[in-house]
Chains A and B, each alone.
Chain A
C-alpha cells in the first residue's frame, strides 16, 4: 500500500525529533519571560464549605508578593457546562478547590504567602456517592442543580444533542429474547489520565482587555475559544501552544489554570506563570467520569441483542465541563458496538463533592463499554456465545446506522471491520485459547490463565471543523498554517508529510507554523482521532488549493491548461510533455501562493479497535498479571508506521487497560481527601512489566480523503479494561465485576478473604 506514495506510509523521522532528544524542545515550564511572576493556588481542606472570611493582609505584605486574589477580587468569570463554576467562588466543593491566588517573584515566596492567608470556613455537609447525591435531602452543590442533577447547559452538539438512547420498543424486544439478564455494574475507580507534564499556563495581560497565553494543550485554539466564553466574551484571547507533554484529552478545554494565570497577570500587569505540582495535578485536575448502571439486556441464541434498557448514572465530580458530551458520544458509540433496534438507556449526570471528571481518551464510550460488556457477558455465558463472535457480529457494518451525538441518524459508510477482527483473533490464537465462559485457557499449579476480548470505535474521527492555509514560496518550499500542537501523536510531522505528498516536494521543504491562534484559522484540535481525517482533509485541501492557484498562475507561461499540469520537486511540468517545465520561482519572487482548506464535520465514518488480552492469575496471592495483548484495526492507509504503533501501544496508557488492573484514584470516603495524589501511590505501568503487544493493522481504503486514511489513536485505551475483567473472570471461574481487579478482590471471590467491612476508600 505504501509503495504508491513517496512519503505516506513510509517511516520518516519526526521533524521535532532532534529538539526533543537534545532537550532543546521547550515545554511550558521551560519558558521564562522577562519580569515573570509565579502563581500559586490556595486550596480547600474541606469537601464542602462556605468561605466566611478571608484575611489576606499578611500575605500581601510579604516581600515579593505582587497580588493576592480571593473570590471578592475577581470578575464573575465562570466555566463549566452549564457555566456554573466561578473561577474563585465563595463556596468550595471538593478538597483541593481553589480558594485564593497569589503571584510573587518566586515560587517559594508564593508558597510562603499561601500560608499567610487566613480563611474561616463554615463547613457544610458533603456527599460523595452518586446515588446518595440524587436522594432528596442530600447536600446540594449548586442552586442551579436541584437534586444535584447536572443540567444539559447549552449543548455542544446542537439542539438535539444526544442525551439518551431511546428507540424502538424494549418491551417487545425483551419478549423476543432467548435470555434476559440484568444487574448493576460500575466503573467508578476514576483513574487519572496522568500526562507526565502537569498542567500550566503563562499569561500576559495587555490593557484594556487582551491577553496572550502560552499553553500546554493538544488543542490550543480551543483554549482561546473556551476562555473567551469563560471571560464573558469581554477579553480577546491569543493562545500560543508549544510542545505538550501529554494530554490524552485531559487538557482539552481545560480553563482553570489558564484563568488563574490570566487573573494574576491582570492584577499585576506582568507575565505570570502558574504550573500545577504533580499533587495538584492528581487531586485537582481531570479524572475519568465515574459510572454506575442498573440495566437489563435481552439476547437471542444467535447473538442478536433484542433490547437494552437501563439507568446510567454518571458522577462528574464537583462540576461538568464536557461530561454531557461524553455521555452523548458514549451513547452514540454503544450503538456502533451493538446493532440493537430497541433501546431505553437513560443517563443521569450527578455532581458530588470530589475532584471533577473530564475528558480522557475513550470519552464516555470507554465508561459505558466497561459497564455494559460485563452485563452482555452474563447473557453470552447463558447462551454459550463466544464473545469474539458476538462483538464481530454486532459491530456496525456499512449500511447500518446510528444516532450520533448530535441526535441525527447517520448511515455508516466506512469499511467492514470483520476481516481485521478475524486477523486479530488469528494472531492472538483466540480459537485455541477460548475454552468457554468462566473457564481458564490453561492451569499451571496455582496459576491460571484466562482470555478476554473487547472492542471500541468512534464516529468522531470526522468530528468538528478544521481550517488551514498552505502557502507556497518561489524557492520551492511551503508552510502550513494550522493550530495544531505536538502532544505525542507525531501529527505535526504527519501533516507535513501529507502536504509534501500533495506537492511532491521533499519533506524538508515543508514546515508547519507555530500553533498561534493569532494567525492560524479555526482548529478544533487533534482529538477523538480526528487528526488524520478531519485536520488532514483541511490541510490537504489547502495544499490542493494552493497548487491549483499556482498552476493557474503558471499555465499561460507553459501554454497549457492548468488541468494539464503537475509539479515535482519544485518544478511545474506539462503532464503529456514533462520536458516543458518551469520552476516555482516563475510565480515571481515578490509573490507567494496561498491556498485555503476547510473540513466540515462528517459522522458517517467510524474507526474500530479490537483488543484481545490474556491474563495470568496467581490464585494464592490474587495477583493478576497481563501477559499479552493483540490489538486489531483497519485504518485505510498508514501515514506513519512508527507513529501508528506508538498510538496502538498507548492502550496501556491514559487510564486504559490498567484501569482494570491497578489504576484508581483513592478518596477517603469520610473526609474527601485524595489519598494517592502522588506518583508512588497512584499506580502506573513500569518498563519492567511490559506485556507482549502485537498490533494487527489492515489497510482497506476509506472514502475519507486523498489518502483514504482514518485515525485510531483516541480509542486505543478503551477496548482493554472490560476485556481484562472478562479474562480474569475466565481465569478464576468466577465473575469479577469490580474495577480494578486488585489482589484483594480476586481473593474475595475465591473465598480466601472476607469482603471489606466498610468502604474506607474509593468504591
Chain B
C-alpha cells in the first residue's frame, strides 16, 4: 500500500474531528475488509493522507431492543449479527443478510457500519492501476460510465444516473425492508436518514467530517414474517447479483402489511412500493406473489447485458413473499 498517517480514535467526537481536520483526505478503518482493498487498488480518486482506526471506540457494538426500537451500533461485527439470538428470532432477515456476506474470515472482522458504507464493486471502477489502469469514470469525477457501453451484466436496473454501479451491501437491503434508519454523527451533531435515502448514484449521504454510528428500526410485529434471498453465482464469497428482503404481515392468510426491498438493482436498496400496495388486502398466494413480482420490476430499465436480472429478481420477490406463508 502507499503510505498514510495512522491514527487511533478513542471517541466518536475524536474521529469526527480528525475527519474534519483532513477535510476529505482521511478515511475511517473499522474491519478493514473493504477499505484495505480500495487502498491497495487505489480506487478512490485521491489516495487518502490519513487512516483513522475506530475499532477502539467503545459503546458502538451494542444490539438493544427497547421501547419499540431496535438499535445496533455501527461497530457490531457481522459475525455478531449472525449469532445473536435476538436477531435470529425477531429480525431474521437481517441475521440472514449478514450471514450471506462474503466469508467467515471477513465476517469475523467486518462491521455493520462498514458493510453499509463499503464502496461499489463495479469492475471498471475497481480496475487496478498496475495492469494498465486506472480507468477513470464518472464516479471518480472524470468521464462517462464505461459500463453503459461495456460489460454491464452486474450493473443497475433502476434509478441510475451518471454512475451505474449497484449498492453491494446485503444488510442495507434487509434494513430497508425493516424501515431502518442510519444514525450519523458529525460537526452539526447527530442526524438520522432512512436507509433508502442514504445512497445516491455517485456517493452516499455522508458529509465531510461525518461518520455512521449505528442503525435503528421500529420493532417488528410478532405476526410478521421475514425473508432474505440473495442470488449469486456461487455460495458464498460472491456479492449479490440480485437480492430481496421482505417483511410481510398476514392475518388469516390475508396480507395486512408488506415491505419489499430489492438489492443490487440500483445505487441503494429500493423499496418496491407499488408491489407492496398490490399485496395489501390480498390473500398471500402464488398469484398475488407473481403480481407483486411484476410490479416490483415494472420500473426496470435494463442496460445491454443485465436484463436477465429482471427475471431473477421477479423470482426472488415471488419466493420471498411465499416464504412468509
Contact = CB atoms under 8 A, between A and B. Distances in A.
Interface in A650-695: 662, 666, 668-671, 673-678, 680-681, 683-686, 688-689
Given A621-B315, A622-B312, A680-B239, A283 B151 contact: no
B317 to A, nearest CB: 11
A688 to B, nearest CB: 5
Interface string B123-135: 1101110111101
Interface residues of A, number: 53
Interface residues of B, number: 37
Interface string B285-325: 00000000000000000001101101110011000000000
B42 to A, nearest CB: 10
B162 interface: no
A689 B235 contact: yes
B151 A279 contact: no
B151 A753 contact: no
A685 B234 contact: yes
Contact of B131 (A96, A111, A744, A757): A96
Nearest to A748: B308
Contact of B312 (A621, A670, A685): A621
Contact of A43 (B130, B233, B308, B310): B130
Contact of B149 (A44, A96, A680, A760): A760
Contacts of A277: 128, 130
Contacts of B241: 743
B14 interface: no
Given A111-B130, A114-B130, A673-B133, A680 B121 contact: yes
A531 to B, nearest CB: 32
A752 B297 CA distance: 14
A688 B235 contact: yes
A95 interface: yes
25 contacts: A40-B130, A43-B132, A95-B132, A96-B131, A111-B2, A114-B130, A277-B128, A277-B130, A279-B131, A622-B312, A677-B128, A680-B238, A681-B121, A683-B233, A683-B234, A685-B234, A689-B235, A742-B233, A753-B307, A756-B304, A760-B147, A760-B149, A760-B151, A760-B305, A761-B153
A666 B150 CA distance: 11
Contacts of A112: 2
Contacts of A688: 235-236
B243 interface: no
A45 B146 contact: no
B152 interface: yes
Given A676-B123, A756-B304, A761-B151, A686 B131 contact: no
Contacts of B311: 620-622, 747, 752-753
Contacts of A283: 131-132
A431 interface: no
A677 B127 CA distance: 8
B22 interface: no
A743 B123 contact: no
Interface in B202-252: 231, 233-239, 241
A669 B153 CA distance: 13
Interface string A617-660: 00011110000000000000000000000000000000000000
A680 B231 contact: no
Interface string A205-229: 0000000000000000000000000
A744 B310 CA distance: 10
A744 B153 contact: yes
Given A671-B146, A686-B237, A678 B304 contact: no
Contacts of A674: 131
Nearest to A115: B129
B106 to A, nearest CB: 11
A685 B234 CA distance: 7
Contacts of B305: 744, 756-757, 760-761
B304 A686 contact: no
B132 A673 contact: yes
A2 interface: no
Nearest to B314: A620
A302 B164 CA distance: 55
A599 interface: no
Contact of B152 (A111, A743, A752, A760): A760
Contacts of B233: 662, 683, 742-743
B234 to A, nearest CB: 6
A280 interface: yes
Given A668-B151, A689-B235, A760-B152, A743 B308 contact: yes
Given A675-B124, A681-B121, 7 more contacts: A114-B130, A622-B311, A662-B234, A668-B151, A675-B123, A680-B239, A683-B234
Q: Which 5 A-B pairs have the closest CB atoms?
A: A761-B151, A760-B151, A744-B308, A45-B132, A757-B304
A685 B233 CA distance: 10
A216 B165 CA distance: 38
Contacts of B2: 108, 111-112
B131 A43 contact: yes
Chain A facing B: main interface SS = loop
B21 to A, nearest CB: 26
A743 B130 contact: no
Nearest to A753: B308
A428 interface: no
A754 B302 CA distance: 11
Given A111-B130, A689-B235, A743-B308, A668 B146 contact: yes
Nearest to A746: B308
Contacts of A135: none
B130 A46 contact: no
A566 to B, nearest CB: 55
A673 B234 contact: no
A758 interface: yes
B234 A671 contact: no
B304 A681 contact: no
B130 A279 contact: yes
A753 B310 contact: yes
A284 B241 CA distance: 27
Contacts of B307: 753-754
B135 to A, nearest CB: 7
B33 to A, nearest CB: 12
Interface string B47-91: 000000000000000000000000000000000000000000000
Given A95-B131, A675-B124, A680-B121, A622 B234 contact: no
Interface string A460-475: 0000000000000000
A104 B235 CA distance: 41
B31 to A, nearest CB: 16
Interface string A704-730: 000000000000000000000000000
Interface in B1-15: 2
Given A277-B130, A279-B130, A754-B307, A668 B150 contact: yes
Contacts of B236: 686, 688
Nearest to A94: B132
Nearest to B316: A621
Contacts of B310: 753
A760 B304 contact: yes
A675 B310 CA distance: 23
A669 B312 CA distance: 26
Contacts of A622: 308, 311-312
B132 A280 contact: no
Q: Specify which of A108, A283, A284, A748 lies most central, judged by the most chain B CB atoms within 10 Å of its CB.
A: A283
A555 B192 CA distance: 95
B130 A747 contact: no
B151 A666 contact: yes
Contacts of B126: 678
A668 B133 CA distance: 13
A748 B151 CA distance: 17
A277 B40 CA distance: 12
B154 to A, nearest CB: 9
A277 B130 CA distance: 9
A41 to B, nearest CB: 8
A392 B121 CA distance: 47
